[in-house]
Structure 1
Amino acid sequence: MTQQIERARTFHALHVKGDPVVLYNAWDPGSAKIVEKAGARAIATGSWPVAAAFGYADGEKIPLELALDNIRRIVAAVDLPVTMDLEGAYGVEPETVARTVSLALEAGAIGFNFEDQVVGGTGLHDIALQVKRVQAAAAAVKASGVPAFLNARTDVFLKAKPDTHDKALLDQAIERAQAYEQAGASGFFAPGLGDERLIETLCTSIALPVNIIALAHVPPRQRLAELGVARISHGPVPWRQMAEWLEAKARQAISG
């Protein structure tokens, strides 16, 4: 427990606006060890890569116990803080959220992503409901004694094409960020957002450290730092690149 607490505190300290921590997402102990060897300061899983590595689709299709066992193995394999992508915490009700968060912490995670989209459905949870869910997650963190990093994610931008991202969507995101902060979130995750002006406004409008995914339409690391981003993750990109490489090599070997 002491080591887990220390790693949680270390992970919190890595989130600095203007000096972002880079999380090159892994999916199993082997990939986590490779990322650690490359000089990472922390390990983060992504729900898509983890599910795909075990033959499942994304969207909480992988059994929770299997995902938790994977986290236990990753935590045991590396000497770094490990944060887990919990998607929607495998349930809508706050009580279910709290239980899932508790299980993730028991498995050794020191942080987790928690999203507001309706997993398996459409749209986002109403803010009032999502606030209760974030509160439940935060309460579970407090009860555990581990100061885990609750990265509250909004899918406002992922649900819209990049060329439609505007001030109206940004205002929705800021409203959610402020509500999630009051509910106990440690950080705010806005995957899909790539417009420099909107990113900078988001970073300056909220107190929470902002997490952006390094997708093709997103500014490079140095520019994100200048805009005030505190955390850069890579989501499913490493897995996809690895999968494409592996398939190409396999085709080459099989075809001769």
Structure 2
Amino acid sequence: MNQSEKAKAFGALHRKGDPVVLYNIWDAGTAKAVGDAGAKALATGSWSVAAAHGYADGEKLPMSVLVETAKSITAAVDLPLSVDFEGAYSTEPEGAAANVAKLVEVGAIGINFEDQVVGGGGLYPAERQAARIRAIRAMAEGKGIPFFINARTDLFLAESDLSKHAGLVDEAIERGKAYAAAGGSGFFVPGLIDPALIEKVCAASPLPVNIMMRTGAPDVKALAKLGVGRVSYGPGPYRSMMEKLKQEAAAIYSLL
């Protein structure tokens, strides 16, 4: 498949009630491993890619390193690749679009794009975030790529008190509708794990909903029944693999 065909195929994988499962990767090696395991598409996690290079999350990883990482993945594995691009390393619509264009140039067919102010406080107003999405969509259309913009809201991830999540659902739904109208392809609600609230968001969202697996979240089959269209694993795979590596190394060094 060429890049446009990969983008179309990736979008088609997002089906309400039959979600695409993305076990997040962080380099070409993990891309090959997950691809060989049967994945239909690949997605990086920003936390994992940053940690693998010795950086903290939150756009601390130089963008040039992230672009090169994406390039190495697309060169190594012939599967659609979505890149977790945080806030696109720019507060302005034009800058965000120009930066996403660099990922398009190395073969990526989608991004996660969040509405929190990276390095600042709170979330962008919905209309400002929508303007950023519109700029990215216009750039991608200019290149003839049906690019997948997974529009993320950080409403739930920013609120650690799960009992308050119900009070955030209406705002999340309104943001999802605004992001859809601006050209978003998917709606990512990391941090949301309550089944009833997930079902409510899925029922109201014009876009396929992405849930991130974390402690307390329903399993994939349960999420499918709730209407979810995409399931991702975030930093979980990286943390699991690093813990296994530490345990194996400790077992060796304990014998010395």
Q: What range is the shorter-chain TM-score in?
A: over 0.9
Checking the alignment, whether the CA contact within 8 Å between 1:115 and 1:153 is kept in structure 2 is yes
Cα distance in structure 2, aligned partners of 1:47 and 1:145: 26
> How far off is 1:168 after superposition?
2.1
Identity within the alignment, %: 53
Match of 2:22 in 1: 23
Cα distance in structure 2, aligned partners of 1:162 and 1:208: 26
Deviation string, structure 1 residues 174-194 (Cα, Å, up to 9, x no partner)? 010001011110010000100
> How far off is 1:166 after superposition?
3.5
Residues 1:224 and 2:218 are matched in the alignment = no
Residues 1:73 and 2:72 are matched in the alignment = yes
Match of 2:63 in 1: 64
The letter of the residue matching 1:204 is A
Match of 2:105 in 1: 106
Match of 1:185 in 2: 184
Deviation string, structure 1 residues 147-188 (Cα, Å, up to 9, x no partner)? 110100000000112522433200110010001011110010
Q: Name the SS for the 1:39 alignment partner.
A: coil
Cα distance in structure 2, aligned partners of 1:6 and 1:165: 41
Normalized against structure 2, the TM-score is what? 0.97
Unaligned runs of at least 5 residues, structure 1: none
Checking the alignment, whether the CA contact within 8 Å between 2:156 and 2:165 is kept in structure 1 is no
Cα distance in structure 2, aligned partners of 1:164 and 1:234: 23
Matches within 5 A, 1:1-256: 3-256=2-255
Checking the alignment, whether the CA contact within 8 Å between 1:162 and 1:192 is kept in structure 2 is no
Checking the alignment, whether the CA contact within 8 Å between 1:75 and 1:108 is kept in structure 2 is yes
Cα distance in structure 1, aligned partners of 2:136 and 2:166: 29
Cα distance in structure 2, aligned partners of 1:106 and 1:21: 25
Checking the alignment, whether the CA contact within 8 Å between 1:162 and 1:194 is kept in structure 2 is no
Cα distance in structure 1, aligned partners of 2:196 and 2:179: 22
> How far off is 1:107 after superposition?
1.2
Cα distance in structure 2, aligned partners of 1:174 and 1:40: 30
Cα distance in structure 1, aligned partners of 2:235 and 2:168: 24
The letter of the residue matching 1:109 is A
Cα distance in structure 1, aligned partners of 2:181 and 2:9: 23
> How far off is 1:141 after superposition?
1.3
Unaligned runs of at least 5 residues, structure 2: none
After superposition, the Cα gap between the structure-2 partners of 1:166 and 1:63, relative to the gap in structure 1 and judged at 3 Å, is closer
Aligned length: 255
> How far off is 1:127 after superposition?
1.3
The letter of the residue matching 1:15 is H
Deviation string, structure 1 residues 72-112 (Cα, Å, up to 9, x no partner)? 11001112101101100001011111101111111110010
Cα distance in structure 1, aligned partners of 2:253 and 2:143: 51
Q: Name the SS for the 1:212 alignment partner.
A: strand
